[in-house]
Structures are given as C-alpha cells and as structure tokens.
Amino acid sequence: MVSRPERRPPGRALPVFPWDTLAEARARAAAHPGGLVDLTVGTPVDPVAPVIRDALAADSAVPGYPTTVGTPALREAVVDSLARRYGITGLTPGAVLPAIGTKELIAALPTQLGLGPGHTVVVPEVAYPTYEVGALLAGAAVVRADSLMQLGPSSPALLYLNSPSNPSGKVLGVEHLRKVVDWARERGVIVASDECYLGLVWEGEAPSILDPRVSGGDHTGLLALHSLSKTSNLASYRAGFVAGDPALVAELLEVRKHAGLMMPLPVQSAMVAALRDDAHEAEQRERYRARRALLYPAVEEAGFRIDYSEAGLYLWATRDEQGRDTVDWFAERGILVAPGEFYGPAGARHVRIALTATDETVSEAVRRLA
C-alpha cells in the first residue's frame, strides 16, 4: 500500500464560522408570534437601480473571456468616482484592479502579496473576521492592535485599517490616518484600508487613506479596498476593487492573472454604470439614513448605549453585559442581532444591529423594542 503524505484539512487553524453559532438564538427569535426580525447580516434588501441592471444586460451576450485587469472604462470610472465622491486625487487607471467581491480580495490579499510564515499581519481589535482569516490562510501571524504604541518597535508586513468600521461604525480622522501612514512608511509596512462604508457617513466626514491630506499625494505602500455591495446594492454581483500604490496593484494583477481571477464582463459594465451615476447612490444613502433615524432612538430608549456608529450600516450597542446575554434579550422579542464577540474579544460586551432591513422590518423592530 502506497503511503501518502499527511494533508492539512481545509479549515486548518481557522476560527469557527461565527454565524453557525447563532442557530439557537435564531430559532428562539423565529418562534416569536410575529415571526423573525433579522438584523444580523448586512445584506442589501433594496432594488438594484435600473441603470445598473440595463448595463449588465447590455453585455450579457458577449461570449469571450474578460480580462483580470478590467476594462479601460471600468478603471477610468473608478478613478473618476473616487475623485468626485471622496476627493481622491493623483490616482491613475493603472493603479486600479477589480475584485470579485471585496471579501474574496481580503481573504486572499496576504497570500497574493507573498506573505506567509514569519510575517505578521495587524488587524483592528474589533474587526471584520476575514482580515484574520486571510492572514491565517497565508500562514502569517495575527496581532490585534488599535494604536501604534501597542506595536512597539515591531515591523509587521501588512496593517489593516477599517474606517468607517464594521462593526462599530467608528471613523478614523485625517490626523490619525496620517500618523499611521508615516509610521508604516518608516518601516516599509503595507497599509490596506477597507473603505467599503466610506459612502455611508452620518456624522462628520470619513477620509480615505488615499486622501491627499492623509497620503500627501503619494500612494506608495497604500491600498484602498472598496465595494459596491452597500452603496449600490450589488452584493449579489460581487463587485469590488482595489486602488492605490501602482506597484502593489501590478503585483496583485500578476498573481490574479495566473489564478484566473476575472470579473465577468457584464458585472464590469454594471460597475461602470454604478460608478458614473451618483443619483442612485444618494437615494440609497437616504434610505439607510431614514432607517437609522428610527432604530437609533428606539435602541437607546430600550436601555442600551450606542458607541461610535457615526457611519456605516450598523449600531454598535451595549448595556454593559455579555453580548450573548444581549442576543438572548433581543431573541425573546423576535429580533436577531449579532454578538460583538464575532469581531474579536474586545467586542464581547456589544452587539451589532444592522440597518439593512426593509422599512417595514425596521418599523416592526422599533415596535417590539418599545
């Protein structure tokens, strides 16, 4: 009998998929006489704008392979939209690359940048779980830190920022981001800034890592990750992109070409339409603003404190108890929320409440909380 080398299982060293642990609370909430009000996952529920759907359909008959680098129209639309919407200047189409959903990009980024054992990836203390997962898939070590002082003299290979934050909605200002960029450049650290919620700010402003006030007009060592899932309701399209340092983007392109990571051409065309049209984005933003205006005071009046939450699609709520106890409290009222521990140990006493539900669902949640 031929012996085979030992194989590591696919889930090696990965944490338990967090949503699988909510089955009991989901069942309890679903047993409510009025049914389940699900405020856990940030999945869009509103319609895709006709201008986007028309662009998708227009190229649906093209039979050939798309390119990994994306069409010139798409890359130009990204550059124009980032300048128009967020004041990002100095970007060229060659410093843009489409991604088949930003989660895919984040999960693969450490590997595609050549990181592995012996490298360290820094993630926020309360963070989107895929930052950690991507590092572990590459075999890199993970450190949770929110301040540069926590890192001491170390020089990690990659540092993630997320502003506005998922789950907390916390926004990092220009001065904070500039200090991170200066620190990283002194040490040759790549900064990857997840900016998927940059277009959903309710209080103040949220600058990009590529904002000239932050970067000084130099994008060296910087990558900004963007998604159209939230602002344009394109979660089902898997429409994202990365922009920033041309050398890093070129490096990612070479790896992704070999891996066959090509965004379907109709989706690229749909992205062009979404990036060129600001009207549908503004309309969607106002939908979320109205839902937040209903849910925010209802959660507070129910006895909770809401921390941060000045941007993004969630309320980061606590009443200074274990988050799982809070999940149970909501479930008794037929409402399902996500425990903060999903996003790291520092979130253990919070819950995340999503605004991504229909107007009717949000109104029902408000009624039950009252």
CATH at 325: 3.90.1150.10
**Are 163 and 237 in a shared domain?**
yes
Domain boundary among 224, 259, 276: 276
pLDDT (average), residues 197-206: 96
pLDDT (average), residues 211-240: 97
pLDDT (average), residues 36-53: 95
326 located within any domain: yes
**Are 124 and 182 in a shared domain?**
yes
**Are 124 and 250 in a shared domain?**
yes
pLDDT band at 7 (very low <50, low <70, confident <90, very high): very low
**Are 36 and 54 in a shared domain?**
no
129 located within any domain: yes
pLDDT at residue 6, rounded to an integer = 55
pLDDT band at 154 (very low <50, low <70, confident <90, very high): confident
**Are 24 and 164 in a shared domain?**
no
**Are 42 and 57 in a shared domain?**
no
pLDDT digits 0-9 by tens, 231-280: 999 999 999 999 999 999 999 999 999 999 999 999 999 999 999 999 99
Token pair for 217:
């007009």
Q: Is residue 12's pLDDT more than 80?
A: no
**Are 71 and 161 in a shared domain?**
yes
Domain boundary among 244, 276, 308: 276
* Gap between the Cα atoms of 282 and 97, Å rounded: 25
Q: Is residue 10's pLDDT more than 60?
A: no
pLDDT digits 0-9 by tens, 57-112: 999 999 999 999 999 999 999 999 999 999 999 999 999 999 999 999 999 999 99
**Are 315 and 347 in a shared domain?**
yes
**Are 72 and 104 in a shared domain?**
yes
The pTM assigned to this predicted structure is 0.93
pLDDT at residue 72, rounded to an integer = 98
90 located within any domain: yes
Q: Is residue 227's pLDDT more than 60?
A: yes
φ/ψ of 352, rounded to 5, equals -105, 125
pLDDT at residue 278, rounded to an integer = 97
Domain boundary among 276, 302, 331: 276
**Are 77 and 42 in a shared domain?**
no
Residue 162 belongs to domain spanning: 50-276
Indicate the burial class of 317 (C-beta count within 10 angstroms; 0-12, 13-18, 19 or more). buried
User: How far is residue 129 from each of residues 136, 162, 199, 211, 345, measured CA to CA in Å?
Assistant: 11, 12, 21, 26, 11
For the chain, the average pLDDT equals 94
9 located within any domain: no
**Are 301 and 235 in a shared domain?**
no
**Are 28 and 133 in a shared domain?**
no
Q: Is residue 210's pLDDT more than 70?
A: yes
Q: How many domains does the chain have?
A: 2
Residue 197's CATH number: 3.40.640.10
11 located within any domain: no
pLDDT digits 0-9 by tens, 266-320: 999 999 999 999 999 999 999 999 999 999 999 999 999 999 999 999 999 999 9
